[in-house]
Structure 1
Amino acid sequence: MEKKLAKWEIERENFVKDVIKSLEEGNAPWRKEWKYKFVPNNPTTNTVYKGGNAIKLFIISNLKGYEDDRFLTYLQAESKGWNVKKGAKGIPIEKFLLYDKQTKKTFNPDNIKNLSLKEQMEYKNKNVFPMIKVFYVFNGADIEGIPPLKKEIKEVNYNKIDKILDNSGVKVLYGGGQAFYSPGLDEIHLPEKRNFISEQTFYSTALHELAHSTGHKDRFNRDLNGKFGSDSYSKEELIAELSSVFSGMKLPLNFDNSVLDNSKAYLQSWAKALENNKNLIYESSKEAEKVSDFIVKLQNQHNNEIFKNNLSEVNINASKIIENKNSNSLIEKIQAKRENKENNLGRGV
């Protein structure tokens, strides 16, 4: 008997189908050169969407031609005296929550704060489990009464990107006609800057290869040994591409399609990987945002300083890591709960 999918699983599958369709038509839907800054945000809470939600809203905006980067729920619009246009369709996004089966509500730590640490742990193990809730948001273009969007033209400070490369700790070598990162040598190879058609092309390429370098064993230790066409290779390339989306929002720097591989084989490899793993784009988005945060921090800090400053956070979470070292991913845990049971990375220019 075929299992019944949860709402968030259905919505993920629908979204991934749209992404695969776009890839099969010869387009990577996260690639777009925006004239204005485009950072998916909620104007009622003044928050920026993160991870898979941010990438999903970015991609859907590209596919639907939205130029407004504001997204909010029906009730949030109503609370401001705005109206959702008749016939407008909401976009499903996700929120991870901890559910307390004892109270039948979202878990509130205050409810068990008077218990001993042992009792708290026992209560959590028995009653608290993760869940994903789906919310629907509407684009600002579909909201009547919302203030006009203030568009901000992208202005890139290339000196900041030079600083990022200098602080990365990765050796950058210039020459030849190929751009790639060598995991074994921990080196980025780039053609001479004068051989690129523009500064944007040069720096877009450099940041793409820098994203790959974050997977080195002394940084985030990702699998960089996948062969072209393999799931691990596709995931690593997807992480690098999506990190460019996040970095482009923050620096800001546009995608430069002239330096990206748009070959049918390249796009089909992503389509195949997404067919094999419907959660891939969400998993890659989470990692890509971490990569982008690291890259952006390099404007003001050296590579070693960033990891040193993060050490305390690692120590704080060490017990959680040990506790869950044999567990599956969060997604797998949610599903299980419901069921009760040396290659170079880069491209030529």
Structure 2
Amino acid sequence: MRQNNQRRAAGKGGEQSTPPRANLYDAVTDRILSELEGGRIPWVQPWGTPDGKGTGATPGLPRNAVTGRTYSGVNVLILWGALFEHGYPSQGWLTFRQARDAGGCVRKGEHGVTVVYADRFTPEAEKQRAQQEGGEARSVSFLKRFTVFNLAQCEGLRPGLAPDPEPLPERQIVPVAEALIAASGVDFRIGGDRAFYAPAHDFVQVPPQPAFYEQINFYRTALHELTHATGHASRLARNIVNAFGSKDYAREELVAEMGSAFLCAALGIVPTVRHADYIASWLEVLREDNRAIFRAASAATKAAEWLLARRDEARDEMERAAA
């Protein structure tokens, strides 16, 4: 709150050719719309499903099981959706080729999940225009897609692939979250009966933790508001001052919701609260713009990475001081 696609495993490669660009945007947006229309919020972590059954997966961001690198942006939503749908027990994913290079294989008949990679290229005609007229050659954005498989769909893989993180013990005070809040540099106030970010005065306020029915949700709410705060002009400079109920307001709420979910996953926090108040406005935004979910997920990733980077810097500084 602010104040006023699948592919079956075959004998060759995981990488796929790029379809028409609009089709890929449409396919991802349609999937997210379908989940929202069905009452499921795709960025609510699948290990905390509303029916309480969960998937058995360790809380965390989906990651490449070979490189250990976490997926970002809309790919987090795509892979969490697959985790929810199939009940996979791992956040680890790899391509068909990576499974083969790791000494194993994707089991015959398994279906992969299509994820996307954003890139840019400069057309030859644009390069020639820039040479003739001067100035910068304008590049064009496009999406590539490739197919990944969950570790649970593979067999014979060598041991030692990037493991899932150990789950946090159950506790109300979560030191890793407290450290991130402190390191953010954002004026963070506790009090009152509302949670909000005030852009004009650049501060976050959240009710005291005992005010939450389940105290772990204090952190989800705090990270939601801190994600809003990353949009301040002195930080990531997003458009965050919007009229309540407007489409721009709904877009920023999408960013804050996903940013909080990504941060909770990165920190191993499993909240139970579900912020579904804005589903109708999110649906309206996504139906009219097939790139809105891509932009929001990208902005949420940048916000989460900004906050995590400051947490890491503060930790490194403390370690150097101790040494």
Displacement, 1:66?
2.4
- Is 1:293 paired with 2:305? yes
Select which of 203, 226, 232 maps to 1:216. Answer: 232
Q: Is the 8 A contact 2:60 2:91 kept in 1?
A: yes
Tell me what 2:52 maps to: none
Displacement, 1:133?
2.2
Deviations 1:166-190 (A, max 9, x none): 3333333333321111112222222
| SS of 2:195 mapped into structure 1 | strand
Select which of 5, 18, 21 maps to 2:34. Answer: 21
Displacement, 1:211?
0.9
Q: Is the 8 A contact 1:31 1:257 kept in 2?
A: no
Counterpart CA distance in 2 for 1:6 and 1:40 is 24
Counterpart CA distance in 1 for 2:58 and 2:264 is 11
Which residue type is aligned with residue 225 of structure 1?
V
Aligned pair count reads 278
What 5-or-longer segments of structure 1 have no aligned partner? 103-117, 306-349
Tell me what 2:153 maps to: 142
Deviations 1:91-122 (A, max 9, x none): 222234455777xxxxxxxxxxxxxxx98x98
Deviations 1:299-326 (A, max 9, x none): 2557xx9xxxxxxxxxxxxxxxxxxxxx
- Is 1:44 paired with 2:66? yes
Tell me what 1:55 maps to: 77
| SS of 1:48 mapped into structure 2 | coil
- How much identity, in percent, do the aligned residues show? 29
| SS of 2:109 mapped into structure 1 | coil
| SS of 2:111 mapped into structure 1 | coil
Tell me what 1:269 maps to: 281
Which residue type is aligned with residue 82 of structure 1?
G
Counterpart CA distance in 1 for 2:83 and 2:22 is 21
**TM-score (norm. length: structure 2):** 0.74
Counterpart CA distance in 1 for 2:109 and 2:245 is 41
Counterpart CA distance in 2 for 1:96 and 1:262 is 29
| SS of 1:90 mapped into structure 2 | strand
Which residue type is aligned with residue 15 of structure 1?
V
Q: Is the 8 A contact 1:226 1:232 kept in 2?
A: yes
Q: Is the 8 A contact 1:27 1:267 kept in 2?
A: no
Tell me what 2:95 maps to: 73
Q: Please list, as runs of the form range in 1=range in 2, the aligned pairs for 1:124-135 lying within 5 A after superposition.
A: 125=137, 131-135=142-146
Displacement, 1:131?
4.0
Counterpart CA distance in 1 for 2:179 and 2:67 is 33
Displacement, 1:244?
1.9
Counterpart CA distance in 2 for 1:227 and 1:85 is 51
Tell me what 1:159 maps to: 175
Counterpart CA distance in 1 for 2:281 and 2:23 is 23
Counterpart CA distance in 1 for 2:104 and 2:122 is 34
Give the stretch that moved more between structures: 47-56 or 19-28: 47-56
- Superposition RMSD on alpha carbons, in Å? 3.2
Deviations 1:121-141 (A, max 9, x none): 98x949x76543221112222
Tell me what 2:25 maps to: 12
- Is 1:200 paired with 2:216? yes
Q: Is the 8 A contact 2:114 2:146 kept in 1?
A: yes
| SS of 1:163 mapped into structure 2 | helix
Flag the structure with higher helix content: 1
Tell me what 1:236 maps to: 252
Deviations 1:258-315 (A, max 9, x none): 2x3224xx2121111111111112111221111111211332557xx9xxxxxxxxxx
- Is 1:283 paired with 2:299? no
- Is 1:169 paired with 2:185? yes
Q: Please list, as runs of the form range in 1=range in 2, the aligned pairs for 1:177-188 lying within 5 A after superposition.
A: 177-188=193-204
- Is 1:249 paired with 2:265? yes
